[in-house]
A and B are shown apart, each in its own frame.
Chain A
Amino acid sequence: MKKILQRAPLFTVIYGTLLIMFFATQFSETLQIYFPYFAVQGDTILAETELLADSIQQAFVNPRKEANTVVMAEDSTNISLPDTTSSGASEVLSVMDEPTPTPIYGEPLEDIIAASQPTSTYIEQPVDQSYFNDAVFLGDSRTVGLQLYSGWDNCDYLADVGMTIYDCLDRDISFGDIQHTTAREVLSTSRYGKVYIMLGINECGSNINTYFDKYTEVVDQIHRWQPDALIVVQGIMKVGAQKSATHPSINNTNITARNEKLATLANDWYIYYLDINEAVCDENGNLTDGYSFDQVHLYAKYYSLWCDYLLEHGFVFNGVRR
């Protein structure tokens, strides 16, 4: 033994530490956080999700925008009055006829809603870029791409590579000049007129109901912080045909199922649903071939399709308060 230690000290020490570490991680939860693989693997679905988050991690570099101040939405300058066309009016009426939606998640929110300012209804119509003056985008690497290549610097982005609905509020992200903050911090302290969300590709491997419940919870939470804000749930952008055909969980069947659920969140009151896939998919419902290198993220030059779609489908306050 002494001879081995003398002749091969490096090997011996590595052997020893590796052995100790392997057994130690089976018992210590702290070590498991830093050395997860040594621990006995638990939920395979979760592991797979993490794997994807890793694989597309840093597909984009983390954005760090220059000086960026939070746009206040208190006076809602860009909100225009609705057209007085008959169709618009009937839409307003139909919206007003509906009973007040009950909160979707958790305990009733009536008290909170009553205490906050009355919320408004919106009409879908084309808008220009200034519409996004009081907007914030919450999302994963795809939204990071939007931040870098939309050319829109009049809005805010709470986006990070690998972000999921589960960690979107508490993930350590950079925001403008601030290096370390969270979406929770920003959304609970600033005021926005519109919150655009697209999350779901990283957690495609997780259970669809858990995902939907968490999504509902996040949307409700954002509404509590931003009672006046319009929340736009964007359907998850689909992936390319080849990826869809070969990946066990990140495929368009799975994405479509999730999007169908997300669409039900819309309440024609303060939550609206948009599916940008209309703009980027082919007739078979796959991300158009040639729009993406990795079949998941759009090439920079095609972000304009997403932007144009959002501009085509702006939601403009119709002046009726509920």
Chain B
Amino acid sequence: MTFSDINFLLIFILIYVPIYMLLPSKAKPWLLLLGSMGFYALNDIWVMPVLLVNIVIVFISGILEDHFFDRIELRKFITKFGIGLQICLMVISILFFKNHTFIGIGFFTIQFIGYYLDVYRNTIVPCRNPLTFANYIFFFPKVLQGPIVSFKDLEKELTSPERVSLAKLEKGMRTFILGMSFKVILADRLYYLWNGVQTVGFQSISTPLAWLSMYSYSMQLYFDFQGYSLMAIGVAQMLGFSLPTNFKSPYLSQSVSEFYRRWHMTLGEWFKNHVYIPLGGSRSGTKKTIFNLAAVWVLTGLWHGLTMNFMFWALTLLLFIILEKTLLKKFFKSEHIGAKIARHIYVLIVIPMTWMMFAIGNIEQMGIFFTRLFNLTSICEPLNVNSNDIFNYFKDYWIFIIGGMICCLPLMEEVLVKTRIYMTRFISFALFWLCVYMIMKNGNNPFMYINF
């Protein structure tokens, strides 16, 4: 069950929110835990026990570290053991449960590891309330796909649940509707374009269609993930919590490194705080900086999946980021208008191409796709290409492609979330019912990012 599921809308809006608002503060965390566990169980009841045991282990480790405050060696051992266990669990679940993916495993692992590291480095006081800790891990708006929150950020709100207000409820609703529109109206439609291209087979697509599908996929991925993040933020807001922003119009960036400061920001932040900065960041020379960046990107690649294409994707990005920071530094610092335009174009060509590495799991197929993208007929002979395919696809998808381009600007968020006039409320209301109608009409496909 995801947020754009009719069951979720009915249960959450009609039943859960009113009860949550009416309950006394003391009972709220319990209802929250109940809701979170129910939500997770509906997605994947079989790994619930594993997860619960895991939560107990991490919780006790935290308390032990606190208890043996002055015994550094023992604390080191607990931390290493704990992190090792989490990584093993993630690897095992990815390698051995291919057909039965452990939903949200990447997000759990990264939060557990973050918790261990934060406790070890004394940046947080270990949680002593099991209810608060379970709520932190299970918090249902973020449980499946983030945004990734550190314990420190969520703890305050979890321990003072009286923060609910009608103003937040209203704002949360607006954010939620925007996210749902991104997901249901744009991402779910664009999905069919990419799916169609895959069904045809990359060897048989025309070069224009290869480009169209590449941009379509890039938008689909953005609206899918951003849509989910906004819905998560909206749901949390309705209950009085604030989750961090995950995207800041990334396609308007002017460099690959900037793009990843604006795309899946909470993951980037996590890697920055728990890997990049502890290793020394950019303060000890160019060589060390490159090493630290490489560490971050190799880990990012591994986190997304243990297949070659993710490593390929991560290393390509690493290469571009290193280039931006070393050889092409002057160009990326230039204030000249021409340089700015060139940088925008550069991002809009490089990033979609790297998404193709992300999207196509099979290296050989990836190669074929790139030969079609650049029409390299000498390397790979195209087979049975229908040269009209681009028109067929464009005729069916132009509205979603144009709409998607507009929605890549921060415009929609400004209008629908931050403006509070009756007109925008009416638009939100109409979008809500359009989404409900489309969900019912077209069925629902789960979020793309759910396996990570």
Check: B155 CB closer than 8 A to any chain A CB: no
> How far apart sit A285 and B389, CA to CA, in the bound complex (Å)?
32
Check: B291 CB closer than 8 A to any chain A CB: no
What residue in chain A is nearest B192 (Cβ atoms)? A58
Check: B290 CB closer than 8 A to any chain A CB: no
Interface size class of A (residues with CB under 8 A): 35 or more
Interface SS of A by simple majority: helix
> How far apart sit A10 and B169, CA to CA, in the bound complex (Å)?
9
Task: Say yes or no: A3 contacts B166, CB within 8 Å.
Answer: yes
CB distance from B99 to the nearest CB of A (A): 8
Task: Say yes or no: B196 contacts A11, CB within 8 Å.
Answer: no
Interface SS of B by simple majority: helix
Task: Say yes or no: B199 contacts A149, CB within 8 Å.
Answer: no
CB distance from A29 to the nearest CB of B (A): 15
CB < 8 Å neighbour of A11 from B173, B395, B445: B173
Interface-facing stretch out of B325-333, B336-344, B406-414, B428-436: B428-436
Check: B60 CB closer than 8 A to any chain A CB: no
Task: Say yes or no: B436 contacts A301, CB within 8 Å.
Answer: no
Task: Say yes or no: A14 contacts B393, CB within 8 Å.
Answer: no
State which residues 224-252 of A face B: CB under 8 Å: 246
| Chain B residues near A58 (CB-CB < 8 A) | 192, 195-196, 396
| Chain B residues near A112 (CB-CB < 8 A) | none
State which residues 1-53 of A face B: CB under 8 Å: 3-4, 7-11, 13-15, 17-19, 22, 34-38, 50-51
| Chain A residues near B393 (CB-CB < 8 A) | 61
Interface size class of B (residues with CB under 8 A): 35 or more
Task: Say yes or no: B440 contacts A35, CB within 8 Å.
Answer: yes
Check: A313 CB closer than 8 A to any chain B CB: no
| Chain A residues near B201 (CB-CB < 8 A) | 293, 299-301
> How far apart sit A34 and B266, CA to CA, in the bound complex (Å)?
39
CB distance from B149 to the nearest CB of A (A): 24
| Chain B residues near A151 (CB-CB < 8 A) | 384
> How far apart sit A149 and B196, CA to CA, in the bound complex (Å)?
13
Check: B1 CB closer than 8 A to any chain A CB: no
Check: A63 CB closer than 8 A to any chain B CB: yes
Task: Say yes or no: B204 contacts A149, CB within 8 Å.
Answer: yes
| Chain A residues near B384 (CB-CB < 8 A) | 149, 151, 300-301, 303-304
CB distance from B181 to the nearest CB of A (A): 14
| Chain B residues near A263 (CB-CB < 8 A) | none
State which residues 214-259 of B face A: CB under 8 Å: 238
Task: Say yes or no: A9 contacts B170, CB within 8 Å.
Answer: yes
14 A/B residue pairs, CB under 8 Å, sorted by A = A8-B173, A11-B166, A14-B173, A14-B429, A22-B14, A34-B440, A55-B445, A58-B195, A59-B192, A60-B200, A145-B200, A148-B386, A299-B201, A301-B204
Which A residues lie at the B interface, using CB under 8 A?
A: 3-4, 7-11, 13-15, 17-19, 22, 34-38, 50-51, 54-55, 57-64, 145, 148-149, 151, 246, 292-294, 297, 299-301, 303-304
Which B residues lie at the A interface, using CB under 8 A?
A: 6, 9-10, 13-14, 99, 166-167, 169-170, 173-174, 192, 195-196, 198-201, 203-204, 238, 383-386, 389, 392-393, 395-397, 425, 428-429, 432-433, 436-437, 439-443, 445
Report the 8 A-B pairs with minimum CB-CB distance, sorted nearest first: A299-B201, A300-B204, A7-B166, A54-B443, A301-B383, A8-B170, A58-B192, A8-B166
